[in-house]
Amino acid sequence: MKKLQLLSIIFLFVIWGCSNEESNSAVEDGTNPAPNLKATGSSANDFLSADKYSSLVIEVFYVGDLQPNAQTLQNLKQFMQARLHKPGGITIEQKQISSPQGTPYTINEIADLESEIRTRYNSEDTLALFVLFVDGNFSSDTNTTLTLGAAYRNTSCVLFENSIRTLSNSPTEPNRTDLETIVILHELCHILGLVDLGSPMQTDHLDAAHGKHCSNQNCLMYYETESNIQNMMQSGMPALDADCLADLKANGGR
């Protein structure tokens, strides 16, 4: 059986994508991938404000029967409606794919897969987000640490749905929808520039020892979920704390 208490569950954050060669002349016609190949957090303001994009389209891919719970995607949409200015609306599209058979996956392999299957890229008025629910494991997983998700570009993230399922829906584990929701919201918030990753900190709350995460262990942006999972089972879902909310607001969000 699963030994949750021995696992350290890591929300991996990966800096990837090229930020140096940002091309302002990149055509945003809905088919050119260039505007969507930038570094994680670099499009935070584009998500939070309506200055450049009034609408958002989310393309969700899942492998085989690993479709996320409908409530998870509803929670994602509600979170976005509460934090982002997108008067033109937020649309979610779901697409099933067959297994790439590549487990364990490196971020390079995930990015290659993205380039094969993604169809939505930024257009003039609409920002595009890619979300992948993949089978198998992440390449750095060990017997005692599992990565549940990674935000690896300005508009791209991956969730390791097999691992999420392994750690949910038993009497000693959180509800699957709750765990899916916390992982997808956590990765989204990296894309929204947390912490100190494109949405400038209004007060110092960076957990410098653990990358771009929040120092408050009750916050959604804490670097591991062990304490968060206990919270989820006792007092409900972890949310963004006041410091993280202030950063989003200061960068154009609600």
Residue-by-residue DSSP string for 187-212: HHHHHTTTTTSSS--SS--B-GGGSS
Query: Residue 87: is the preceding peptide bond cis (ω within 30°)?
Result: no
Q: How many residues touch Zn ion (CB under 5 A)?
A: 8
Name the segment binding Zn ion (CB under 5 A); options: 63-71, 74-82, 99-107, 213-221.
Answer: 213-221
Please say whether the beta carbons of 77 and 53 come within 8 A.
no
**Separation between Cα atoms, residue 84 and residue 196, nearest integer Å:** 18
Name the segment binding Zn ion (CB under 5 A); options: 19-27, 103-111, 118-126, 206-214.
Answer: 206-214
Q: Cβ closer to Zn ion: 86 or 212?
A: 212
Q: Minimum CB separation from Zn ion for residue 219, in Å?
A: 3
Q: Minimum CB separation from Zn ion for residue 201, in Å?
A: 10
Q: Which of 107, 241, 248, 252 binds Zn ion (CB under 5 A)?
A: 241
Q: Minimum CB separation from Zn ion for residue 151, in Å?
A: 7
Q: Which of 76, 107, 221, 229 binds Zn ion (CB under 5 A)?
A: 221
Name the segment binding Zn ion (CB under 5 A); options: 41-49, 70-78, 137-145, 210-218.
Answer: 210-218
Q: Minimum CB separation from Zn ion for residue 28, in Å?
A: 28
User: What does the block give as tokens for 229?
Assistant: 């999972």
Is 214 a residue that touches Zn ion (CB under 5 A)? Answer: yes
Q: Cβ closer to Zn ion: 161 or 241?
A: 241
Q: Minimum CB separation from Zn ion for residue 136, in Å?
A: 20
User: What does the block give as tokens for 14?
Assistant: 């990966």
Q: Cβ closer to Zn ion: 124 or 204?
A: 204
Angle (nearest 5°) at CA 139 between 73 and 11: 45
- Measured in degrees and rounded to the nearest 5, phi and psi for residue 177 equal -60, -40
Q: Minimum CB separation from Zn ion for residue 202, in Å?
A: 11
Q: Minimum CB separation from Zn ion for residue 39, in Å?
A: 15
**Helix 176-191 and helix 226-235, axial crossing angle in degrees, nearest 10:** 130
* Neighbouring-strand partners of residue 134: 160
Is 11 a residue that touches Zn ion (CB under 5 A)? Answer: yes
Is 219 a residue that touches Zn ion (CB under 5 A)? Answer: yes
CA distances to 53, 153, 157 from 125, rounded to whole Å, are: 5, 20, 21
- The answer for residues whose C-beta is within 8 angstroms of residue 204's C-beta and 6 or more apart is none
Is 13 a residue that touches Zn ion (CB under 5 A)? Answer: yes
Q: Sheet with 126-134: list strands edge to edge.
A: 8-13, 145-153, 156-160, 126-134, 55-63, 89-97
Q: Cβ closer to Zn ion: 134 or 240?
A: 240
Residue number closest to Zn ion, CB atom: 214
Interacting residues with Zn ion (CB under 5 A) = 11, 13, 214, 216, 219, 221, 241, 244
